[in-house]
Structure 1
Amino acid sequence: MKRHLTWILLLLTLLVGVLPGAAAAGMEKMTVTFYDEVSQSYGQPTVTDRINLTLDGAPLTPVDVPALVQYPAGSQNGRTLVPVRLISEALEATVTWVPETRQVVILREGSTIVLTLGSASALVDGKQVQLPDGIPAGVVKWEGKESTMVPLRFVSEQLGAQVEWQGDTATAAITSPKEEKPQPPTDPTGPEEGDLGWITGLDFDKTTQTFTVTADHTPQYRILDLGDRLAIDLLGAVYAPAVGKDLILSVESDAIEQIRCSQHGDDLGYGYPHTLRLVLDLASGVSYAQNLSVSAGGNQVRVSVSEAPEQPELPPLEPGKITIAIDPGHGGNQPGAVYPDANGNDVKEKDLTLPMSLMLAEILEDRGYNVVPTRTGDDSVSLADRAKMANAADAELFVSIHCNALDRNDYEGIFTYYYPNSTKGAALAQQVQDGVVAATGGIGRGTPSANFQVLRETTMPAVLVETGFMTHPGELARLCDPTYQQKIALGIANGIDAYLNNRT
C-alpha cells in the first residue's frame, strides 16, 4: 500500500510539472473566441484559463487580451499564449506584421522568428521548426478586444529567456536572457574555410538610385521582405569595415532612408561561417514588391529603385457630394489568386475585381456620389498608396474588393472585413455584407475583423469584401459572369446607401 501511495504521489508531481488544465488550482476562468485562419472567421466562445505573467519578478500585464491557455483537442494539458508585441518588446525584440502573408516576424540581435497565423510550424533563422503540441500563433478576441497571440515558452526560449511555471499562483515566470560576460574579441579577420569570400564594396548611386554590392566572388544571397524594411543576407561573406561594429550607410533617396550593415558569424543558420546582413530601411509608402528590384550578375548584387513614391493623383471631385473610395484588389504584377475555370483557362483575381469595381463606381456616380478608384486599369498600386489616395481625397468610406481562395474546393461564400475595434467599420461591413448577400443570393459567411493594411491605414470607415471563393468551381463560374458581377456591385452600393442613411 505504501509503495502504491508513493507512485501516486510521483505521478501527481509529474502532472503538475506540465502546464496543467483542470488539475491547476487557483486559475481564473475567462471566455474567449479563437480566429480560424481556414474559415476566416471566429469560432464558438471557449472557456479557458487566465494566466498571470512576471518578468524578472515584476508583473507583466497585457493591455488588451490577457495571457491564457489553449488546450489541444482531447487534452487537459495546454500551452500558454501571450500577446506577441508584449513578450517580444519585453525581451527587447522588434515585431513586424506582414498582412499579405498573415505572418509575424520577430527580430532580436540577428535572430529571426517567423510565425504564420494558424500554422503549426515556425521559421527560426530560416529553418522550419514544429511548434510544441501544434499550438499555432493566432488572433484571440476577449471582451471586444483582439490580440495576436503566440506560444509563450517557444518564443521566450527562442529569444534566450527562460520560463518557469508557478502552479500555486497560476503564473508563468519569465527570466530575461543572462548577459554574457565580456569575452575576448572573436571577430574574424577574414573569410574562413567554408566561406565564399570578401565583400569589397557597398556603393549607392544617387543618380541611378541603385545600391551595388561588390564581392571578390559570385555572391549568394537571400532576401527577407519585412514590410517597411528589406533584409539581404550575403552568405559566406565578410565585409571588413563591419567587423566588430554595425555600420549605417547614408543614402540620398526618396525610397530608402538608410542602409544598415551587420557582420554575422554562423548564427543565422545558413551553414556558412559568416553572413553579412544588409537592412534597407524604406521610406513611408515604399515596399519591396512595388518600388524595388534586386538583381545579380557577375560579382555584384544590385538593388534598384524602380518606382519612386509619388503623391496620389485624384480625379476631379464635385463639391458638396459624398466621396467613396473604391479599391479593386491587386493589379499589374500582382495578379492575386489564380485558378483555372471549367475550360482550363487561368482566371486572375485582378481581372475579376476590376470590372466589379468599375460597375460599382458607375452605380454610385448615378446615385450622386463622387468616386475615387485606386486603379482603373491593370496597374500596380501599393497597399500604402491605395490608403493614401483615399485619405488624400478625404473620402467618406473606403471599399476594397477581392476574391477569396482556400486549399479546398468545397467551400464558398462571402465575407466582409473591417478593422479591429472600429465601430463604424463594423457597421459598414454588416450593411455591405447584407447588401451583397441579398443581391446575389450567395452564402453569407460573416463580418470578421482583420488587420489588413488598407483597413489599418485609411482614416475613414473601411471594409474589404471577399466576394467569393475562386477555389470553388461553381462560385468561380459565377464570379466570371458579368451579370453576377453586376449583382455584387449593386449589393455593395445598396449597403453603402443603407450605412449612410442610418448614421446617427
Structure 2
Amino acid sequence: MKKFAFMLLLLLFVLVLPEQGHAASGTSKIFLDDKELTAGQDVSVENVNNSIMVPLRMIAENLGYKVDWDQKSKTVTIEQQGKTIKLIVDQTAASVDDKTMILTTAPLLRSDTTLVPIRFIGEQFGLTVKWDNTAKVVNLITPEIPESNNDSGGSTVDGGSGVVVPPTDPTADLTMVNGVSFSENRLSIAMDGSSQPKVSKVSGPDRIVIDLPNATFSDAFGTGQVLDPNLNGKLSVTNYPDVSGVRYSLYSTNPYTVRFVIDLNQAKNYSVDVSGDTSKLVVIDLNAQSTNDTATLPGNSGRKLVVLDAGHGAKDSGAIGVTGKYEKNFNLAVILKAAALLKQENNIDVVLTRSDDTFLELKDRAGMANNLKADLFISVHANSSASSVSSGSETYFQRDASKALANVMHKYLVQATGLSDRGVRYGNFHVIRETTMPAVLLEVGYLSNKGDESLLFTEDLQNKVAAGIVAGIKEYLKL
C-alpha cells in the first residue's frame, strides 16, 4: 500500500512539471517598433476584465520618459517634454498635467512592477498598440514622420525606425472644475474653461441635474472635496428643508462630462446664473420662484446684500499657529457665526463664499460678490509674523470707496478682541481690490503669537468678533 501511494505521488509530480514549464514558455512578449523589450520584464501581461494590462516602467523608459515611484502613496510619476502623468495603484483616476482622467482599469502592482491598461499607453504616449491574443504579443508602434519632414530631426527609439512624438492629450481642451459649495440654498460651482452648464429637473425622486460638458475635475477640486478612486463624491447638506444632499461625479469620459445632482425633498424651481469669462462661477439658486423669476435673488427685494468670505480653505490652510492650529478653521468659524446673526436681521441678506472646508480661487470669491451685485464684502483672516511678539487686530482696504467701511468695521473689531489696535491700513489684496462694492479684509489676530492664537480659538472670542462684524455692517448701512 505504501509503495502504491509513493508511485501515485511520483506520477502526479511528473504530470505537474510539464504544465509549469508550458506556462513559463508561454510568457507574453512586448515589441516596440519590431524590437522586443526584455530588460525589466519580470511580470507578464495580464488580462483583467477584458483590459490588457502591461508593465508601465519598462515601456515608458524605453520611450525616454523619466519614471519615479513613491512607495508610501503607491504613486507613479512619468515626465517627458514638460508633460507630467501621475497614476496611483488601485485607483482609476489619473492626473495628466493636473487634469483628471479615468482609466478603464485601475493600475495593479505585481512584484514591484506597475501594470496599466494598454489603451492608456496608446493615448498618453502617442503609440499605435496591437494585442495578439493568440500569440500573447503586444506590439507598440511609434508614429513615423513623413519623408518630406525627415530633415526636421527626431529621436529614434532603440534604433527603431519610429519616432516618439508628444501624444495628443485627450484632456487638453477640457474645462477644469475647481470647487463646489452649498449655502443659502444655492449651489456654487467654480471652474476654468468654456463649458456651459445644462440644467434640468427630474422627478422620481425629485432632483436637479447639472451637467458640465467637456469638463473634468482639476487636482484643486480633489484637495477641497472628497473624491473616491472613481471620481464620485458628495456634499453633506444640513438645515435646508428643500435639499437632502448634493452628489457629483465624472459622469462620462466619452465625451468628458462632470455631473452635479441636487437631491430634493420635494419639487423645487431654480434659477441659473453663470458669471465670468475664462474663470466661471455657476450658481444654481433654489430661492427662485420659477426658472425665469429672479425677484427673490438676494438683494432684489430691497434688502441689503452682504457677502462674507472665510479666507483660505481645504488645501490652502492659511497661516499655521504656534501650536499647529489652521487659520482656515478660525476664519470659517467666525463667518458661520456672523452669518447666523445676520440671518436674524430683517433688512439684510447674506451669502457665504464658502460654508465648509472648500477651496476657492480668489477670483471666484470676488466674482461671486460682483455677480450678485452685493452691497458689502467682508473677508475674515488671521495674521502671522516671523516675530512671535507681533500681536493685535488690523483692518485693510484697497479702494477709497472702502475706507469708510474699514473705519467702522475696525472700531468694532478692536472692541471685540481686546487686542492691540494696529489700525486701518491700505492693502492690495485681490478680494478687496477686484470687488466692485465697499470691501474690507479683517486680520483678527496673530496665530504666530501664542496668546493671540489661544484667544482666537475660543468660542467667546469668536462670538464677540461675529457680533462686532454684524454691528459694524448695520452701522455702516444705517440699519
For Structure 1 versus Structure 2, the TM-score category normalised by the shorter chain is 0.3 to 0.5
| Structure number with larger C-alpha Rg | 2
TM-score under structure 2 length normalisation:
0.43
TM-score under structure 1 length normalisation:
0.41
